[in-house]
Chains A and B, each alone.
Chain A
Amino acid sequence: MTQQQAMSGYSVVQEVDWDRVYVEQLPRVFNFFRFRIRHQQDVEDLTARTFEKAWVARARYRHDVAGFTTWLLSIARNVAIDHLRARQQHVPIEVAVDIAAESTPEKDAMRGSDIARLIQLTADLPERERELLALKYGAAVSNRLIAQLTGLSESNVGTILSRTVDKLRSRW
């Protein structure tokens, strides 16, 4: 932003390199949903919905207000909230599943059952803690960014995550 532009109150809207964004952000968003939603099909649907929403609303993205990851993850959070809300009307508890029923090739089965196991273990955790886990380990973003997204303080995010991970490790 030039000094003159800054003084006149205008902001620079930088062109987003969508190719680069797609490659970088797709695994982030995809894993964010994986840590929250059990069904692979739903994970793909929600990831696609997030990118489509971002694409439609790309003209409204302000580089000077938030980083692209923050903006995209805030869309993903809203998509997840809408999905879980709609799902709760039909399924009382989404983790009421028998993870032993998974039958995939060996390695995939290991991973698949691990993620399913995580979802089962986090089922009784408060919503806020489950979301923090998905952002930290699924989307792989920093505590500072999580704090920006959730409105919590950075130290509070660290404390909650530390406590939650301890709890999970003891049950793992």
Chain B
Amino acid sequence: VNDEFLHRLREQPPPAFAAQLRARLEAQAVARRFRTRQISLYALIACLLGGTAWALVSPGVRTSTTEVIRRLLPDAVVKAIDSYAPAASSGEDTRSRQPHLPRGSQSQSAGEVSGRAAAPLNRVVAADADTAKVGSGSSFLTESSRVVTPTRASTQLAGPAVIDVEIEGAKVTASVISLALKPFAARQSQAQQQRVRAELRASSTERAFQKLCAGEIDVALATRPMLPAEVAVCRRANVVFTELPIAYEALVVVVNGANDWAQALSLRELGTLFDPASQGFTIGWNELQPKWPTATIVLAAPRPGQGFQESFAELVLGGASGNRSDIRVERDEVALMQFVQRFISGLTYLPFASYLRSDSLDSLKLVQIVNSRGVAVTPSRASIADGSYEPLSRPLLAYVRSGISDYQAASQFVRFFLQTADTLVSNSRYLPLERSEYQLADKVLRKNLTAAIADTADTESITVRKLLLQYFSGPDRERERAELDRAMRR
């Protein structure tokens, strides 16, 4: 049969298609393996917990275990135990036995127990600076956690007077401020006359503003500027404060370096991809933009509880917590970047600062984000500083209460942060301000300047420069602006 003309019609599949299909199959394999492992792990944990609970609850099992242990132990040891605690050897419930203590000791013991029960359960008190969870870029504070420095014990000794500075606010901003706690404590431990003890609590921006205006704390930490209504509350209570930027939080969306189609994404598209409500649906690139390939988007996200995961949920998903369970979850940003490098259809988000520190930027590509004005903006230091890369970047703010007796102490800590922030923040997940901006903020605190920020209704377009220059007017303002420009050019 002369069928050569039919054989000639065969051809190889396009290489791009072959690569994309392979990536999609690999992604499915990874997701499946991960799900299987997760189920096995949960089953194992459930079995262990169930077994332990059963063993603890069942008196028969407990008695048998005791018997087995007694048989294994040497006779001399068993006798010694019996003579010390005869009730235990006969299998009696030891919970019913009370220690024979003097009356005074009993009341003291009861007092300790009731005191412990009265303490808030979700509040962790770190006994000293060395054990406190502070000082690293990856550190994060649990909700309502409290970091105290320096040690309580040291403050009770005879020596210099101690002034407490109460700081509270948004978890993200508290993470930034916490970078200075340990070095500050170290410096304070050498103070001869007076020591400042900084107490930091992570709660929320709203809660911090309420407490600041009620005069309960000295420094409020925020992820957004104070709203006019909140300023009005402060004004009614005669609370005056200084508003200062301390760093930037900026998140970026990255794809594989070979991905030459995904240039820009809108918040709505990001929301569709990562919303837990999209669980169970595979989304192709062409569903975002018809001209893009049909390949399925392979998503990865950080573990829930990571600061930037929560920020992304707040900014993009409107506060929805948790991840889709059918996407890849990685332990940190390094693993997220490695994931995207492996898959041409990969997509994830991470802190811009972590991205900048990566040594494999060639194999990753930043995606532009369509801001609230409908403009696609590439993440960069410039677009973050001028406020156009929003809403995935924002200045983090500190509000220092002034006009109080402890102002010097409060400003002492914040000024310490501002003077060292350049180095401290550079190694974290956040972006530092320019050095000249930190210097200007320090100057504002040193001079105890306040501004009429109550009338700032336009909170959306706030920039670091605008925040800092609000404390100056007339020629002073122009001089400071020129100084900032000169420093930027340098």
In the bound assembly, the distance between CA atoms of A157 and B25 in angstroms comes to 34
Q: In the complex, are the beta carbons of A137 and B9 less than 8 A apart?
A: yes
Q: In the complex, are the beta carbons of A118 and B9 less than 8 A apart?
A: yes
**Which of B11, B17, B28 is A52 in contact with, Cβ under 8 Å?**
B28
**B294 lies within 8 A of chain A by Cβ:** yes
Contact residues of A: prevailing secondary structure: helix
In the bound assembly, the distance between CA atoms of A114 and B12 in angstroms comes to 15
CB contacts (< 8 Å) of B2 on chain A: these are 165, 169
**A45 lies within 8 A of chain B by Cβ:** yes
Q: 1/0 contact trace for B1-33 toward A, CB 8 Å?
A: 111011111111110011001101100110000
Q: In the complex, are the beta carbons of A137 and B3 less than 8 A apart?
A: yes
**Which of A52, A111, A115, A136 is B24 in contact with, Cβ under 8 Å?**
A52
CB contacts (< 8 Å) of B12 on chain A: these are 27, 30
- A22-B22, A51-B25, A165-B1 known; A111 vs B9 contact (CB < 8 Å): yes
- A41-B294, A48-B24, A168-B6 known; A111 vs B11 contact (CB < 8 Å): yes
Q: In the complex, are the beta carbons of A115 and B21 less than 8 A apart?
A: no
CB contacts (< 8 Å) of B18 on chain A: these are 26
Q: In the complex, are the beta carbons of B28 and A138 less than 8 A apart?
A: no
Q: Quote the shortest CB–CB distance from A28 to chain B (angstroms).
A: 9
Q: In the complex, are the beta carbons of A115 and B294 less than 8 A apart?
A: no
Task: List 14 other contacts, CB 8 Å, given A118-B9, A137-B7, A137-B9.
Answer: A27-B12, A44-B13, A44-B294, A48-B294, A52-B25, A55-B25, A56-B28, A137-B6, A161-B1, A165-B2, A165-B3, A165-B6, A169-B2, A172-B5
CB contacts (< 8 Å) of A56 on chain B: these are 28
Q: Which of B381-405 contact A (CB under 8 A)?
A: none
Q: In the complex, are the beta carbons of B1 and A27 less than 8 A apart?
A: no
9 example contacts (A-B, Cβ-Cβ < 8 A) are as follows: A44-B13, A44-B294, A48-B21, A51-B25, A136-B6, A137-B3, A140-B10, A161-B1, A169-B5
Q: 1/0 contact trace for A8-32 toward B, CB 8 Å?
A: 0000000000100010001100110
Residue of A nearest to B21 (CB): A48
**A162 lies within 8 A of chain B by Cβ:** yes
Q: In the complex, are the beta carbons of B6 and A47 less than 8 A apart?
A: no
- A55-B25, A165-B1, A165-B3 known; A27 vs B17 contact (CB < 8 Å): no
CB contacts (< 8 Å) of B17 on chain A: these are 44, 47
Q: Quote the shortest CB–CB distance from A158 to chain B (angstroms).
A: 9
Q: In the complex, are the beta carbons of B21 and A45 less than 8 A apart?
A: no
Interface residues of A (CB under 8 A from B): 18, 22, 26-27, 30-31, 34-35, 41, 44-45, 47-48, 51-52, 55-56, 111, 114-115, 118, 133, 136-138, 140, 161-162, 165-166, 168-169, 172
Residue of A nearest to B12 (CB): A27
Q: In the complex, are the beta carbons of A31 and B3 less than 8 A apart?
A: no
CB contacts (< 8 Å) of B25 on chain A: these are 18, 22, 51-52, 55
Residue of B nearest to A115 (CB): B9
Q: Quote the shortest CB–CB distance from B161 to chain A (angstroms).
A: 71
CB contacts (< 8 Å) of A47 on chain B: these are 13, 17, 21
In the bound assembly, the distance between CA atoms of A169 and B5 in angstroms comes to 8
**Which of A137, A161, A165 is B10 in contact with, Cβ under 8 Å?**
A137
Residue of B nearest to A158 (CB): B1
CB contacts (< 8 Å) of B10 on chain A: these are 27, 31, 137-138, 140
Q: In the complex, are the beta carbons of A35 and B13 less than 8 A apart?
A: no
In the bound assembly, the distance between CA atoms of A22 and B57 in angstroms comes to 55
**Which of B1, B9, B14, B22 is A114 in contact with, Cβ under 8 Å?**
B9
Q: Quote the shortest CB–CB distance from A80 to chain B (angstroms).
A: 16
Q: In the complex, are the beta carbons of B9 and A26 less than 8 A apart?
A: no
Q: Quote the shortest CB–CB distance from B292 to chain A (angstroms).
A: 13
**Which of B1, B5, B14, B21 is A162 in contact with, Cβ under 8 Å?**
B1
CB contacts (< 8 Å) of A48 on chain B: these are 21, 24, 294
In the bound assembly, the distance between CA atoms of A160 and B442 in angstroms comes to 90
Q: In the complex, are the beta carbons of B6 and A55 less than 8 A apart?
A: no
Q: Which of B24-65 contact A (CB under 8 A)?
A: 24-25, 28-29
- A44-B294, A45-B294, A137-B3 known; A51 vs B9 contact (CB < 8 Å): no
CB contacts (< 8 Å) of B8 on chain A: these are 114
